[in-house]
Each structure stands twice: as C-alpha cells, then as structure tokens.
C-alpha cells in the first residue's frame, strides 16, 4: 500500500492536479530500475504547451499534451503507469470525478516481458507483488543503499545471487538484509580486497 499513501501521492503531483507523469517516472525509476533520464532538449514542458480549452479531465489534458511523436515514445510507458493513480487527487484524496467527468484509471505496465492491463493503483500493486522484475529492482535498490554507491559490472554476479535468493524466499526482507552483509560487495571496499 505504499503507493497509495499521502506521501507518495502528494509528493508526485502538482499543486492543482495529480501528475501521472511524476508518478509514472517515480515508479519506473524506483520500482523497476528503468532509468529514463531527462526529456530531449527540443521537447517543451507541459506548462509551455498550455492547457487545452474546455472542461477536460486531467488524463485527457496529459494525453493531449504528450501525444506528439517527440513525447509519445517515452510517455507510453510513463503515462500507462501514472494513469492508474487518477483516482487520487494532488493531495492523495480519493475521487470518483474529475472536472465533472468519471475517472479513467486504466493503464498498463510491462513486467517480466508481458504487458499487463490494469485498472487502478490497487490492481497495479497486485501485479507488482507477483513480478520478478519488481523483486529484482527491490534488491538492486537495497544493495545500492547498503553500499552507498551504484552497482558496477563486477558486482553483477553477486547481485544476481541476491536477487535469486530474494525471489526464492518469497520476498523475505530480513533474509535479504543478512544476505547483503554476507557478500564480498558489502565486506570489501570498492577497488580493495
């Protein structure tokens, strides 16, 4: 349920609207370890594009603003996840309507080589719970934290062992913490013996 908490929802929103883009990028980078980087320099910000006229939902505004070919290649991944949080406003409160229109919280995410269609954040988290990609990224994030640095090529073999152990344990975080401390990665200084 961490992804439906006030902290996540409000910190990944603008003051007036929820932000499927911020929420989607956060999840791609932190839960799936997919680095997106900054948008290309020729892509204008959403503020520069302006808001479309007429009463539209937040989702319709974002879809319209990110539909250009320069935006669409990244936003099909970002928005597919971010739209699943549309039932939560910019402060994290539940909502059924947006500007008088019913909320569409459907989206999709690619996990474990398969596209998963989901409707809402709870369904998204249910799919995440059974995903090897999510489990592997979780291990990667904990190893980065424990080492105080990013993973390097030389670390890959031990990282894969930790990921396999975490998956086989059913996601036992305590065992993961112990296993990280038992690796050469943790016991040796980078570049040292």
CA separation for the pair 134, 98 (Å, rounded): 31
Task: Output the average pLDDT for the chain.
Answer: 89
Whole-angstrom Cα distance, residue 3 to residue 67? Answer: 26
pLDDT at 135: 97
Residue 42 has pLDDT above 80, yes or no: no
Place of tokens 């539209």: 56
Distances 59 to 4, 24, 98 between C-alpha atoms, Å: 18, 13, 9
Residues 45-83: tens digit of each pLDDT: 656 555 556 668 999 989 988 888 878 888 989 999 999
pLDDT at 180 over 60: yes
Mean pLDDT within 113-134: 96
pLDDT tens per residue across span 4-32: 999 999 999 998 889 999 999 999 999 99
Residue 121 has pLDDT above 70, yes or no: yes
> Predicted confidence band at 145 (pLDDT cuts at 50, 70, 90)?
very high
| Segment 86-95 mean pLDDT | 95
- How far apart are alpha carbons 76 and 102 in whole angstroms? 22
Share of the chain above pLDDT 90, in %: 68
Give the mean model confidence (pLDDT) for residues 132-148: 96
- Tell me phi and psi for residue 98, to 5 degrees: -130, 115
Q: What is the mean pLDDT of residues 152-169?
A: 93
Q: Is the pLDDT of residue 153 over 90?
A: no
Burial of 75 (0-12, 13-18, 19+ CB in 10 A): buried
CA neighbours closer than 13 Å in the CB half-sphere of residue 28? 22
Best CA proximity match to 167, nearest among 141, 138, 132: 132
Q: How far apart are CA 89 and CA 85, in angstroms?
A: 8
Predicted pLDDT at 193? 43
**Partners of 102 in beta bridges:** 97
pLDDT tens-digit map of 95-110:
999 999 999 999 999 9
Q: How many CB atoms lie within 10 A of CB 165?
A: 15
Q: Predicted confidence band at 38 (pLDDT cuts at 50, 70, 90)?
A: confident
Q: Which pair of structure tokens corresponds to residue 87? A: 């039932």
Is the per-residue pLDDT at 143 higher than 90?
yes
């Amino acid at each position: 349920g961490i992804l439906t908490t006030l902290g996540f929802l409000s910190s990944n929103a603008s003051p007036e609207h929820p932000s499927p883009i911020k929420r989607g990028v956060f999840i791609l980078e932190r839960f799936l370890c997919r680095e997106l980087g900054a948008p290309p320099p020729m892509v204008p910000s959403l503020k520069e594009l302006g808001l479309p006229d007429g009463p539209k939902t937040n989702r319709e505004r974002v879809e319209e603003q990110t539909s250009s070919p320069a935006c669409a290649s990244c936003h099909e991944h970002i928005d597919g996840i971010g739209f699943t949080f549309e039932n939560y406003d910019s402060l994290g409160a539940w909502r059924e309507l947006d500007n008088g229109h019913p909320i569409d919280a459907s989206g999709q995410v690619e996990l474990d080589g398969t596209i998963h269609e989901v409707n809402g954040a709870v369904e998204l988290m249910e799919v995440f719970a059974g995903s090897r990609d999510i489990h592997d990224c979780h291990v990667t994030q904990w190893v980065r934290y424990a080492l105080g640095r990013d993973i390097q090529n030389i670390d890959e073999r031990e990282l894969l062992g930790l990921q396999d152990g975490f998956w086989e344990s059913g996601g036992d975080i305590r065992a993961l913490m112990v296993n990280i401390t038992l690796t050469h990665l943790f016991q040796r200084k980078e570049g040292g013996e």
